[in-house]
Structure 1
Amino acid sequence: MCRPAGHHHANPRNTSALRALASSSKLVAAQLFIVSLIVHLAKLSANFVFLFILCFAGDLQRCRPFLVAGKQVGVMQPRVLEAALRHPDVFLLDASSGSVWMHPSLVTYEERSARINAVLSQWREEGSFVTLKGWRDECYEVRTGFADPPLLKMERSATCLFGIRQYGVEINGYTRHPQLGICLWLQRRSFSKPTWPGKWDNMVAGGLSVGHSVLDTALKEADEEASIPPHLLLNLKSAGSVSFYFESERGLFPNTELVYDLELPPDFVPRNADGEVDSFELVPVDQVMERLLTPDYKTTSCPTTLDFLIRHGHLNPDNEPNLPELVELLHIPLHYLYNNHGGADGGPAGPSS
């Protein structure tokens, strides 16, 4: 992964120096230098997981498990806990375990969704949290596991306040250019987007919102963001997933991205249709590795791009001796951590008071 947004280069060599190296005759040496930096930055991003682990280790000063119906669905930091406990009809603190529960009297999907939305709407009006300035009127469903029935739905911009697992779809659009070789289409996000404005991103990406399947989301976003016609989408291939844990001023992001690869003809040029993309650029893979190291690349899209470079052999054991470590960092076991920790006694009656 790459650095959190706003950080400067981890290495004093600047981007222009990297470009000079990449364009020199010592291309192999330049690639080794670049991928070594990628591993270094991936290690930095792995620190985000430590907060999560500390929570399960009982460090309640850092965060607390958030449970719905006795199952952990998130992680709550102190600033959110303080605000949540002002709503005792919605949130309860379990004195015995230190975990936070959604009130056990809220037993249906509809009840939970309505009550949490009322709280979030109040926080939005009060300006309590910066993330709610990007209110989307789009909901994510909260589940104990990806295939489990949803327990409630929550405004998308608010899920990071509770460390709710988020799911999205990303499409690597690539082509075999006759002169440049394998190239990836990258999008520059609209400068008016509430998150990551103007950053470079994968060709197509979108969150998995209420009412849409994974494939539905992929097809919808491919049409809206890049105007990819249906006959080209027949080449869409599922390529697994990446998962990571990211922290910013907005909150906590335990993200899983369902990944697709899409080989496109060399003469295809994507066009945006929904106003969320500023421009597209076709980038040779060696330049993609360089671009990942700049602060202009969306941090949470780096794992998908790195995963593509690994699966297609552009990052391999010959040019990156730490490849196994890098692969592990792209697949943080979020589902295991949530599903095997944070379960609580107390049954349907809820936490002790």
Structure 2
Amino acid sequence: MSGSVDECITRLLALAKRFNCFYLSGFHSSECKPFVVEGYQVGLIRPDVMKELIHFPEVFHVTPGCVELNPAFRDYQERSVKVNEVLKELRKKNTFITLKGWRDECYEVKAEFNTTSLLKMDRSATCLFGIRNYGVTINGYVRHPQQGQCLWFQKRASTKQTWPGKWDNMVSGGLSVGHGILETAHKEAMEEASVPPYLLQNLISTSCVSFFFESERGLFPNTEFVFDLELPVDFVPENADGEVDTFEILPVTKCLEKILSPDFKTTSSPVVLDFLIRHGVVTPENEPNYLSIIEFLHVPLQTVYGRCHNKMKENGISLSNI
């Protein structure tokens, strides 16, 4: 690592804590309440959001123990429509900054990733409910004959609704309704970086990273399905959807400074950090906080909500009497 060892250690661990800021603080407080649908906890809701949902009692039952979607809504379509009506009303009133980035693109809301979806919600609104989001990220790398292993980055367009102008992974995108993991990886690679299909045959699924971030927009319990893609030395990515300003390639030895910069998108740094760990740039030998950092890259988002809901039951709190 460049710079003094102590300085890099402090900065790298601080970064890992920063993209898990909610997991380390707000998650363990009692301020946020479980968001429950059909008896399953699918999210967490902050007090500022609860204060607005109280005005929609026919859709959301706000109680001392949780916020429950009206159980009278019996199927996926009805739940989705009722929630969307509330969100459109809140958007019309400019209640939440995140709804200014309305996408007309929805994410599924599930008890767990591999279970049947309970409803869909516009992606801009999921952070208001602490819904677990899923996405794909592709590490495009090159084995350069002089510079060694190098990694491609993109600079997000200044017109992007979130993190405009920040540096980011070469390719990434959320799993929207109707799209699978590999399908999304291929779609985003072609749209964001014009990666041709024959190169995508080399795409390798390598890992997942998960973290729990919070910003002024809301809560972000995110899981990224990570792919590595070795690219030819002469390949240069080109954007095709207008969402990228430029691309840059860096030797992996300079990538730590890249993700530690305030110009890098905080919630994209976990994937780069994971890549640098897997490829031997960050090791137990040069990073005394190695194990802590590994844990911060794999927050157990598939079970933390379930444990919270089970704890409610163990404490004698049922949805029927709160």
1:128 is aligned, of 83, 87, 95, to: 95
1:290 match: 257
Please, what TM-score do these two structures have when normalized by structure 1? 0.86
**Correspondence 1:197-212 to 2 at 5 A:** 197-212=164-179
Match of 2:308, SS? coil
Moved over 2 A (4+): 27-36, 43-47, 50-55, 349-353
Match of 1:49 in 2: 23
Amino acid at match of 2:178: G
Q: Which runs of 5+ in 2 are unaligned?
A: none
* Partner residue of 1:272 out of 221, 239, 264: 239
Equivalent position of 2:58 in the other structure? 89
- Cα deviation, 1:159-217, whole Å, max 9, x if unaligned, reads 00000000000000000111111100000001100000010000000000000000000
SS of residue matched to 1:121: helix
Give the structure 1 partner of residue 309 of structure 2.
342
State the alpha-carbon separation in 2 of the partners of residues 147 and 173 from structure 1: 28
Counterparts of 1:32 and 1:304, CA distance in 2: 23
Q: Is the 8 A contact 2:152 2:170 kept in 1?
A: yes
- Is the Cα contact below 8 Å between 1:171 and 1:260 reproduced in 2? yes
Does residue 38 in structure 1 map to residue 7 in structure 2?
no
Alpha-carbon shift at residue 291 of structure 1 (Å): 1.2
Mapping 1:31-180, distance limit 5 Å: 33-55=7-29, 59=30, 62-95=31-64, 98-180=65-147
User: Which residue in 2 is equivalent to 1:4?
Assistant: none
Q: Does the 8 A contact of 1:94 with 1:351 survive in 2?
A: no
1:214 aligns with one of 170, 173, 181: 181
Distance 2:6 2:257 in 1: 11
SS at match of 2:262: coil
Q: Which amino acid aligns with 1:117?
A: N
Query: Where do residues 236-255 of structure 1 align in structure 2 (5 Å cutoff)?
Result: 236-255=203-222
2 CA distance for matches of 1:34 and 1:270?
A: 30
1:352 aligns with 2:299: no
**How large is the RMSD of aligned CA atoms in angstroms?**
1.6
Give the whole-Å Cα distance in 2 for the aligned partners of 1:28 and 1:169. 29
Which of 279, 292, 300 is the aligned partner of 1:312? 279
Identity of aligned residues (%): 54
Q: Runs of 5+ in structure 1 lacking a partner?
A: 1-26
Distance apart, 1:120 and its partner CA: 0.2
Task: Give distance in 1, aligned partners of 2:80 and 2:12.
Answer: 40
Secondary structure at 1:157 match in 2: coil
Amino acid at match of 2:23: V
